[in-house]
């Protein structure tokens, strides 16, 4: 196996993303939060890898929805969706004490939010219930006791209450009432104008794009492996990539399923179930983003060891999203983004200056794919523990800035150009993203906002 931290390799000075030396633990302890049970069985009878079930339940909890079975059911001809309880989860798979604490605390907060109106105090983080529904000024007794003076915050914007405390419907903070966003103005996705889309429809051969409406059900999936059984393999900074990619895809109109810390078997189960989701029939495209360690043979699962066991072959992504296995996405763009190493070689060398059938018609088994990987075969990818990976962060920035006017192949080209330019100008690591098995037969415009 290549060095598990190859993906973390750093340059001396990569100013655009501010790469610095990495702090990587040298211990090889096992992560007690990742379990080794072989299978998990739900009351509906469906069997799945335990890491997949745990990750799916975490996703449900974050979405504030009930636990449901994610497996494809051949009799229902769709996702099972059978509801189950936390007690059922505990009976299906052995949970560590930390996982139990995570679920129980999350479920308690979810239950409390349905019963009363509460929010965390920006000062101490403790949860505070609002007694007067008409008053945005909320008093925190814990902060008041700690500070020795009265502390209030605004229920609407979550900031310390400015000025005199009083009954109010506006706190006086300039951004109170504005939609919350984790992005700055510079980072916001630029929106497309209807006239531009109309022009492209008339002058270029492009993929069909559904209008923004309740009938359009775009769905995407992010698999992000952060915690591994061997603790030193932890992908610090990967949370930044996940948040950036989630924000981008949601801004593009996709509902995003996020699954963390999956084995190779878990990733395969997730891909299989994702390919069978009914939403694809009402969508016009999809994104599948996978971020993990990797090597020449594929993407590493959380149980990877020094002998490279637990590897998910990239070929299976194409297999599950193919026309044969995912008819709902036939003739629709399927964009695959992979952030992982593909080997242990540096991305530079010294060169001498001198010298299946759908609707009664035959369909291509593998078509309309756009696969963009973070590096070329056999080479490493770079990630910063503070700001995320060079590939994901540059891709998100370029999509935000240019998706309103460029098709996806041009966007990919600009990402590659960013790496080339940055390497030359800033002594940046020689990493080069590359297209893999791309079969887009038309131009794919994302038309953000439309």
Give residues with Cβ within 8 angstroms of 67, minimum separation 6.
57, 60, 83, 84, 85, 86, 88, 89
Structure letter (DSSP) for residue 448: T
Q: How far apart are CA 193 and CA 202, in angstroms?
A: 15
Whether the Cβ atoms of residue 163 and residue 155 lie closer than 8 Å to each other: no
Return the half-sphere exposure (C-beta side, CA atoms, 13 A cut-off) of residue 344.
5
Token pair 């759908």: residue: 358
114 is written with which tokens? 């349905």
Whether the Cβ atoms of residue 301 and residue 292 lie closer than 8 Å to each other: yes
Residue 293 a catalytic site member? yes
Output b/e per residue, 26-61; b: 16+ Cβ within 10 A.
Answer: eeeeebebbbeeeebebeeebebbbbbbbbbbbbeb
Give the count of beta carbons closer than 10 Å to the beta carbon of residue 168: 16
Catalytic residue chosen out of the listed positions 293, 300, 326, 375: 293
How many helices (H) and strands (E) the chain has is answered by: 10, 19
Give residues with Cβ within 8 angstroms of 11, minimum separation 6.
19, 382, 426, 427, 428, 429
440 is written with which tokens? 């887009």
Beta-strand ranges (E) seen in 18-60 are: 40-41, 47-48
Using CA atoms of 52, 57, 63, 67 in order, give the dihedral in degrees to the nearest 10.
130
- Single out the residue of 425, 430, 47, 448 nearest to residue 269, CA to CA: 47
Whether the Cβ atoms of residue 49 and residue 37 lie closer than 8 Å to each other: no
Sign of CA dihedral 73, 75, 77, 79: negative
Angle made by CA atoms 332, 273, 333, in degrees to the nearest 5:
10
Residues found in the chain: 450
Residue 157 a catalytic site member? no
Catalytic residue chosen out of the listed positions 140, 341, 371, 375: 341
265 is written with which tokens? 């078997």
282 is written with which tokens? 């009402």
407 is written with which tokens? 């098709």
287 is written with which tokens? 């994104």
Angle made by CA atoms 382, 387, 389, in degrees to the nearest 5:
25
Whether the Cβ atoms of residue 380 and residue 346 lie closer than 8 Å to each other: yes
Residues involved in catalysis: 293, 341
């Amino acid at each position: 196996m290549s060095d598990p931290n190859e993906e973390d390799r750093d340059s001396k000075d990569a100013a655009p993303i501010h790469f610095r030396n990495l702090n990587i633990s040298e211990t090889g302890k096992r992560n007690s939060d990742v379990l080794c049970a072989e299978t998990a069985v739900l009351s509906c009878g469906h069997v799945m890898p335990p890491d997949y079930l745990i990750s799916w339940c975490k996703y449900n909890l974050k979405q504030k929805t009930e636990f449901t079975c994610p497996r494809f059911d051949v009799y229902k001809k769709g996702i099972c969706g059978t509801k189950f309880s936390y007690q059922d989860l505990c009976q299906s798979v052995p949970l560590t004490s930390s996982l139990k604490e995570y679920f129980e605390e999350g479920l308690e907060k979810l239950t409390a939010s349905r019963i009363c109106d509460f929010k965390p105090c920006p000062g101490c983080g403790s949860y505070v219930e609002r007694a007067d529904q008409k008053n945005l000024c909320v008093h925190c007794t814990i902060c008041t006791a700690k500070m020795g003076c009265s502390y209030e915050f605004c229920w609407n914007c979550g900031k310390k209450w400015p000025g005199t405390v009083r009954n109010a419907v506006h706190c006086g903070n300039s951004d109170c009432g504005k939609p919350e966003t984790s992005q700055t103005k510079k980072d916001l996705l630029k929106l497309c104008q209807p006239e531009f889309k109309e022009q492209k429809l008339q002058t270029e051969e492009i993929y069909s794009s559904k209008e923004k409406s309740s009938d359009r059900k775009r769905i995407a999936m992010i698999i992000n492996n952060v915690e591994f059984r061997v603790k030193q393999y932890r992908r610090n900074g990967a949370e930044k990539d996940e948040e950036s990619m989630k924000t981008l895809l949601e801004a593009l109109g996709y509902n995003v399923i996020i699954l963390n810390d999956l084995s190779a078997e878990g990733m395969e189960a997730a891909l299989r179930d994702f390919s069978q989701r009914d939403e694809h029939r009402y969508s016009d495209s999809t994104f599948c983003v996978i971020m993990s360690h990797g090597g020449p043979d594929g993407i590493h699962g959380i149980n990877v060891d020094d002998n490279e066991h637990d590897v998910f072959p990239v070929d299976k992504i194409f297999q599950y999203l193919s026309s044969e296995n995912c008819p709902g996405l036939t003739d629709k763009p399927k964009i695959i983004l992979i952030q992982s190493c593909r080997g242990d070689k540096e991305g530079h060398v010294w060169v001498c200056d001198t010298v299946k059938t759908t609707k009664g018609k035959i369909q291509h088994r593998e078509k309309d794919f756009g696969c963009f990987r973070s590096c070329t075969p056999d080479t490493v990818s770079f990630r910063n523990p503070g700001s995320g990976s060079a590939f994901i962060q540059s891709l998100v920035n370029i999509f935000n800035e240019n998706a309103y006017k460029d098709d996806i192949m041009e966007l990919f080209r600009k990402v590659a150009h960013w790496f080339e330019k940055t390497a030359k100008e800033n002594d940046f690591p020689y990493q080069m993203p590359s297209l893999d098995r791309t079969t887009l037969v038309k131009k794919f415009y994302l038309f953000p906002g439309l």
